């Protein structure tokens, strides 16, 4: 027997007998053998004790590689499974996964694991790590595994997708499958932490049983684990769901509708301020604002292509009983097309800019829903401009300027531009018209080049009907997210037969530009909550000034007068009339992150002054009420930016 192993640099190593991945690594270099944690064999990750006995391509994986971290985390997940099986005889195991964010294991038992039990399970894992227990890689017949898991319906369900011979790992008497590669013994797990407990529907379907998902993470170095735990703590502090609850902004109750947010008065105030701001900006920029129904005849979405491309993300059509099928709209484009078609259009009408805060519905799976970021009902800051061909680049620049102006007012600075093109090989996702795609992609690129802006190009990120500019932001949690888009569309005007009468008196086809300035209200406000950590700038804060009388009997009347004067000037102020201690009420105002706390006692009342305590500082500044009104007015008008 002889075979060759081709290495990443193209060189080959010849062998006359089977060789393990560990032996292969050592044959390349002794240091590589020590650092190896696995290998990619013909593109598939394999463990150190996997045996190679034929011609293959191989790349050794070390603890410096991303795949190495995945192997470590998968090993930690496997050890956790083995430990919970030892601790709880009646526990059943579901899915497991290792990723860039750690690992998770789904479990099920009569009394679910409590967060308070995680330290005990960590100790049991640490004991196994200290003992350096062997993890054995082997294969077993599928039928044998079915017998082994006869009392575990979740494992039996997973086994349906396995071949007759299944790769498994053993730790003592414990056996499991579904892992690509694990470390050869528990002693190789250096640093780990069990993090949290959550519910997870089996296979992500709400009709299936709810299991318990245990999250954890693992690293090769203690410093990396410590940094990750600090990062996670920062995420907790910025989590818009937690802040939204603490500041009483919104709630989502699965009992009355998963993924359907209820906006409480304070959250509704923030949203209303943003909506008014956006509408005013767009109207000033030449947009005609409209209202269109959230329901539309299904045929419109068949014409647009949404039904063919996004059917799985749309709610089931409603049969009205007379042959009419109505659909909750997933996009606003066909609605704005109807506005365009309602009148005969001339070249003099173009560019025609139509905008709407349009409510849409998406059929998101229960397991994907998350606070305001992933919802089933959303309101998009949507707009569509219909232009002549030679107006495209000028209008593109105009839209981009509007986006940049909005970003400035919200103090959004961490973003980059991405030109999103089609993948020409993906004929299922993108409609077939090579000429249109080449033309529109060149136009988009030329517009960016003319503006002198840097951008990255991404194949396969376009909408099904045309290329787009995506403005990608970094969230407070470090995630890359699309905030704004500008899309060129030659397809929908063709499909809906849109025309305008040109200077020559003939009918011509307009180009349609889709654009979203800040995306959906839901996702944008979630983004702002996390960026600001709930401490909204004065112009956005639901309560801009909290007024606290030192003595309810002596100072409430003056506090009411200050409140009325501020509210009359258009500011959002309220008096704290609760029968609580002064210190408590001041701390509560800080906890609620109110920009200005006004404390009113005898001195303030007698002089017509206010004692101002800005949020996040120890400052106490006494000034006249008129001076404070000028201060807060300047703060609001400057969008709370420092002069």
Any binding-site annotation on 342?
Answer: no
63-69, long-range: CB within 8 Å, 24+ apart, which pairs? 63/35, 63/37, 63/220, 64/35, 66/100, 67/38, 67/40, 68/37, 68/38, 68/220, 69/100, 69/218, 69/219, 69/220
Which of 59, 41, 42 lies closest to 50, judged by CA?
Answer: 41
Any binding-site annotation on 361?
Answer: no
* Cα–Cα distances in angstroms (integers) from residue 378 to residues 314, 487, 524, in the given order: 13, 20, 11
Axis-axis angle for helices 434-451, 392-409 (nearest 10) = 50
CA angle at residue 59 from 56 to 61, to 5 degrees? 140
* Cβ partners under 8 Å of residue 208, min gap 6: 201, 202
**What b/e string do you get for 61-94 counting C-beta neighbours within 10 Å, with b at 16 or more?**
bbbebebbbbbbbbbbbbbbbbbbbbebeebbbb
CA diameter of the chain:
101
Which of 23, 20, 215 lies closest to 106, judged by CA?
Answer: 215
Which of 144, 271, 207 lies closest to 526, judged by CA?
Answer: 271
Any binding-site annotation on 555?
Answer: no
Instruction: State the DSSP string of 96-116.
Output: EEEETTEEEEEEE-SSPPPGG
357-360, long-range: CB within 8 Å, 24+ apart, which pairs? 357/275, 357/278, 357/279, 357/381, 357/382, 357/521, 358/292, 358/329, 358/332, 358/382, 359/294, 360/294, 360/328, 360/329, 360/330, 360/331, 360/332, 360/520
Axis-axis angle for helices 552-568, 625-637 (nearest 10) = 40
Detail the residues annotated as belonging to a binding site. Answer: 333, 384, 514
Detail the residues annotated as belonging to a binding site for Zn(2+). Answer: 333, 384, 514
């Amino acid at each position: 027997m002889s075979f060759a192993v081709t290495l990443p640099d193209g060189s080959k190593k010849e062998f006359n007998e089977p060789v393990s991945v560990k032996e292969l690594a050592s044959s390349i270099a002794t240091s590589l053998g020590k650092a190896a944690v696995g290998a990619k064999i013909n593109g598939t990750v394999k463990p150190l004790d996997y045996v190679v006995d034929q011609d293959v391509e191989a790349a050794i994986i070390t603890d410096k590689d991303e795949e190495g971290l995945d192997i470590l985390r998968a090993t930690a997940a496997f050890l956790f499974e083995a430990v919970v099986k030892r601790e709880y005889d009646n526990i059943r195991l579901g899915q497991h996964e290792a990723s860039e964010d750690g690992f998770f294991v789904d479990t099920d038992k009569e009394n679910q694991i409590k967060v308070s039990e995680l330290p005990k399970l960590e100790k049991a894992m640490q004991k196994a790590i200290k003992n350096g227990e062997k993890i054995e890689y082997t294969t077993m017949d599928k039928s044998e595994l079915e017998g082994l898991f006869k009392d575990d319906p979740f494992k039996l369900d997973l086994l349906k997708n396995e071949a007759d011979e299944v790769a498994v790992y053993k730790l003592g008497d414990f056996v499991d499958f579904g892992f690509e590669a694990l470390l050869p013994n528990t002693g190789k797990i250096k640093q780990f932490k069990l993090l949290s407990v959550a519910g997870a529907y089996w296979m992500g379907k709400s009709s299936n049983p709810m299991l318990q998902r245990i999250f954890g993470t693992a690293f090769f170095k203690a410093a990396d684990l410590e940094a990750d735990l600090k990062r996670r703590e920062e995420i907790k502090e910025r989590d818009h769901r937690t802040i939204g609850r603490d500041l009483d902004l919104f709630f989502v109750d699965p009992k009355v509708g998963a993924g359907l947010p209820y906006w409480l008065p304070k959250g509704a105030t923030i949203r209303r301020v943003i909506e008014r701001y956006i509408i005013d900006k767009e109207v000033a920029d030449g947009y005609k604002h409209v209202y269109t129904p959230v329901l539309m005849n299904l045929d419109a979405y068949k014409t647009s292509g949404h039904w063919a491309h996004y059917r799985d993300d749309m709610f089931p059509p409603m049969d009205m009983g007379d042959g009419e099928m109505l659909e909750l709209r997933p996009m606003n484009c066909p609605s704005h097309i109807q506005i365009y078609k309602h009148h005969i259009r001339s070249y003099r009408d173009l560019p025609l800019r139509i905008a709407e805060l349009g409510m849409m519905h998406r059929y998101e799976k229960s397991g994907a829903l998350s606070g305001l970021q992933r919802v089933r009902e959303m309101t998009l800051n949507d707009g569509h401009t219909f232009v002549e061909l030679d107006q495209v680049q000028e209008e593109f620049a105009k839209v981009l300027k509007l986006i940049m102006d909005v970003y400035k007012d919200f103090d959004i600075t961490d973003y980059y531009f991405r030109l999103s093109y089609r993948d020409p090989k993906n004929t299922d996702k993108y409609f077939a018209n090579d000429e249109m795609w080449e033309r529109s992609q060149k136009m988009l690129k030329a517009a960016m080049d003319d503006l002198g802006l840097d951008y990255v190009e991404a194949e396969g990120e376009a909408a099904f009907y045309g290329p787009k500019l995506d403005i990608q932001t970094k969230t407070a949690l470090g995630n890359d997210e699309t905030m704004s888009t500008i899309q060129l569309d030659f397809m929908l005007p063709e499909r809906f037969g849109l025309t305008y009468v040109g200077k020559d008196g003939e009918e011509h086809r307009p180009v349609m530009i889709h654009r979203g300035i800040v995306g959906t209200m839901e996702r944008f406000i979630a983004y702002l909550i996390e960026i600001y950590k709930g401490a909204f700038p004065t112009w956005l804060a639901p309560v801009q000034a909290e007024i606290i009388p030192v003595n309810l009997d002596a100072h409430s009347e003056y506090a009411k007068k200050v409140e009325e004067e501020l509210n009359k000037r258009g500011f959002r102020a309220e008096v704290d009339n609760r029968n609580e201690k002064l210190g408590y009420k001041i701390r509560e105002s800080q906890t609620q992150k109110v920009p200005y706390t006004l404390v009113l006692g005898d001195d303030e009342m007698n002089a017509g002054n206010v004692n101002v305590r800005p949020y996040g500082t120890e400052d106490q500044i006494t000034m006249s009420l008129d001076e404070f009104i000028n201060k807060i007015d300047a703060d609001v008008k400057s969008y709370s930016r420092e002069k």
